[in-house]
């Protein structure tokens, strides 16, 4: 019961961006992935979530291969991702952003919309209640009716997390949840992630901010030039000579 990535390879032209990456992320874990710029972190996320097709390798969710599925099918299977640069629905309100993410809506089919209005209304009420609960949990209630494009960078990160939660996922892939976020909100976002993890949702988190990440995740892996060069508890990993070389260019 986990997210297992085996031997993923990805080339961009003649460049090997991922070179046989394997990772095993247990269900319900809080797993950090670090690495210097250009290490292949976002590409690995894209391969796991289906936005980039890998050359070789397998992705399994709870033992089932999902690497041939479309991105939307993987999300429905319970593996939801967020983006480094937030992709909010700018002209929709925060509340509408969340409601739009709810799965299996009768009102999203034209037939359902015109021929089953009572059912659509009932589902909408349920979805609105879920969205309300998530907004409260993520402290977004004050901005519920604001167009999402007007939110701050940190609020947009929270909104993306909230949208992912609407799918009731087993795993969430967070791409740099702290990038462009002010320090106060970083602590807040970390707190929310910890709360959610306590409810059983697994997280795989890419992050540049080493300090913030190591405080959050008990287990990290290091990606460098397309390979995993170390994994384990943060202290041990950061003490690793190879890791220090990758980050500091061998000056230590």
Partner 1 sequence: MSAYLIAITILTLIYVLLALGLTLQFGLTGLINFGHVGFFAIGAYTSALLTLNGWPVGVGIVAAAVAAMLPALPIGYISLRLRDDYFAIVTLAFSEVVRIVVTNAREWTSGTQGLPGIARLYASLNGAASEWAVLGTILAVTLLAIWMITRIARSPFGRLIQAIRDNEVAVKALGKDPAWFKIQVLAVGAALAGIAGAFYAHYITYIVPDQFVPLVTFYAWMAITLGGASRISGAVVGSAILMVLLEGSRFVHDFLPMISDSAMASVRIGVVGLLLILCIVWRPQGLTGKRGDA
Residue 77 CB burial class (10 angstroms; 0-12, 13-18, ≥19): middle
What is the nearest approach in angstroms of partner 1 to the Cβ of residue 174? 12
| 114, 118, 200, 251: residue in contact with partner 1 (rule CB under 8 A) | 114
Question: Between 23 and 75, whose beta carbon lies closer to partner 1?
Answer: 75
Q: Do 96 and 140 meet the contact criterion of CB atoms below 8 Å apart? A: no
What is the nearest approach in angstroms of partner 1 to the Cβ of residue 240? 33
Q: CB 242: neighbour CB atoms within 10 A?
A: 13
**54 vs 44: CA distance, rounded Å:** 9
156 touches partner 1 (CB under 8 A): no
124 touches partner 1 (CB under 8 A): yes
Hey, which bits of the chain come out as E strands?
Answer: 2-12, 15-26, 30-34, 56-61, 64-65, 79-81, 171-175, 202-206, 219-224, 227-232
155 touches partner 1 (CB under 8 A): no
What is the nearest approach in angstroms of partner 1 to the Cβ of residue 219? 25
51 touches partner 1 (CB under 8 A): yes
Q: Binding pattern to partner 1, positions 31-50, x when CB under 8 A?
A: ------------------x-
Question: Between 70 and 136, whose beta carbon lies closer to partner 1?
Answer: 70
Q: CB 161: neighbour CB atoms within 10 A?
A: 23
Touching partner 1, residues 81-100 (CB under 8 A): 81-83, 87-92, 96-97, 99-100
Q: Where does this chain touch partner 1 (CB under 8 A) — which range of 24-32, 109-117, 184-192, 206-214?
A: 109-117
Q: Which two tokens stand for residue 189?
A: 């976002």
Q: Do 162 and 100 meet the contact criterion of CB atoms below 8 Å apart? A: no
Q: Binding pattern to partner 1, positions 178-207, x when CB under 8 A?
A: ------------------------------
CA 139 → CA 48, 89, 124, 132, 184, distances in Å? 29, 19, 22, 10, 14
**Residues in the site for partner 1, rule: CB under 8 A?**
49, 51, 70-73, 75-76, 80-83, 87-92, 96-97, 99-101, 103, 105-110, 113-114, 120, 123-124, 127, 147, 160, 163-164, 166-167
């Amino acid at each position: 019961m986990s997210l297992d990535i085996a031997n993923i390879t990805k080339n961009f032209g003649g460049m090997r961006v991922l070179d046989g990456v394997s990772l095993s992320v247990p269900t319900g874990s809080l797993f950090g992935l670090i690495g210097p710029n250009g290490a292949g972190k976002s590409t690995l996320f894209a391969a796991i979530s289906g936005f980039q097709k890998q050359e070789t390798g397998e992705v399994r969710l709870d033992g089932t291969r999902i690497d041939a599925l479309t991105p939307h099918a993987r999300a429905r299977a319970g593996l939801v991702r967020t983006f480094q640069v937030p992709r909010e629905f700018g002209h929709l309100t925060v509340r509408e952003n969340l409601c739009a993410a709810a799965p299996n809506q009768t009102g999203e089919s034209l037939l359902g919309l015109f021929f089953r209005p009572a059912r659509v209304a009932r589902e909408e009420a349920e979805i609105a209640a879920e969205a309300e609960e998530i907004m409260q949990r993520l402290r977004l209630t004050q901005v519920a009716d604001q167009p999402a494009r007007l939110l701050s960078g940190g609020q947009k990160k929270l909104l993306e997390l909230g949208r992912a939660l609407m799918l009731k996922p087993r795993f969430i892939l967070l791409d740099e949840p702290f990038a462009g976020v002010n320090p106060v909100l970083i602590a807040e976002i970390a707190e929310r992630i910890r709360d959610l993890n306590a409810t059983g949702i697994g997280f795989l988190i890419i992050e540049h901010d080493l300090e913030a990440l190591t405080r959050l995740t008990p287990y990290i892996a290091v990606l460098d030039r397309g390979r995993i060069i170390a994994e384990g508890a943060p202290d041990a990993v950061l003490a690793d000579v190879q890791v220090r070389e990758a980050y500091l260019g061998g000056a230590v």
